[in-house]
Amino acid sequence: MQIAHMSGARLGNLARCLLLAVVLASLGCRTGHARSDEEGPLRTTIEVQNEDFNDMTVYVLVNGSRTRLGIAPGNKSTVLTIPEYLLNGVPVMRFVADPIGGNRTPVSEEVNVNPGDQLEMIIRPGG
């Protein structure tokens, strides 16, 4: 094993070069959009376009558990927020539209959802 001895000046130059390399590497890892703490967490939403006359209660299914997101009035478009805690480690979800006073309950296919996604669901009349 060979150990090299460096003088104080060379050691200082080496330390500055390493510091510069670390700073440049960390800048290279940043994205173009700087998020401030004031913006808060990414908001994940689903826009429900209810073309049916019935109002719908919208649920999200995660690991077999159903969580109510809100009401989508008939013949209107509504934006509902998916709670952040549902997005932790589980990117696959299904959505259920349960008609108030009706007997059919449409369920969506499995959808991959990530924080900040803006989803859209269209409920067709009678479907």
pLDDT in tens, 11-30: 455 445 444 444 444 444 44
- Measure the CA–CA gap between 119 and 104, rounded to whole angstroms: 22
The CATH fold assigned to 39-123 is: Immunoglobulin-like (2.60.40)
- DSSP H or E run through 28: helix 8-28
- Of 8-12, 24-28, 61-65, 79-83, which has the strongest mean pLDDT? 79-83
- What number is the average pLDDT over the span 77-103? 89
Which pLDDT score is estimated for 6? 41
Residue 70 has pLDDT above 90, yes or no: yes
- What number is the average pLDDT over the span 35-55? 81
Q: Please provide the size of the chain in residues.
A: 127
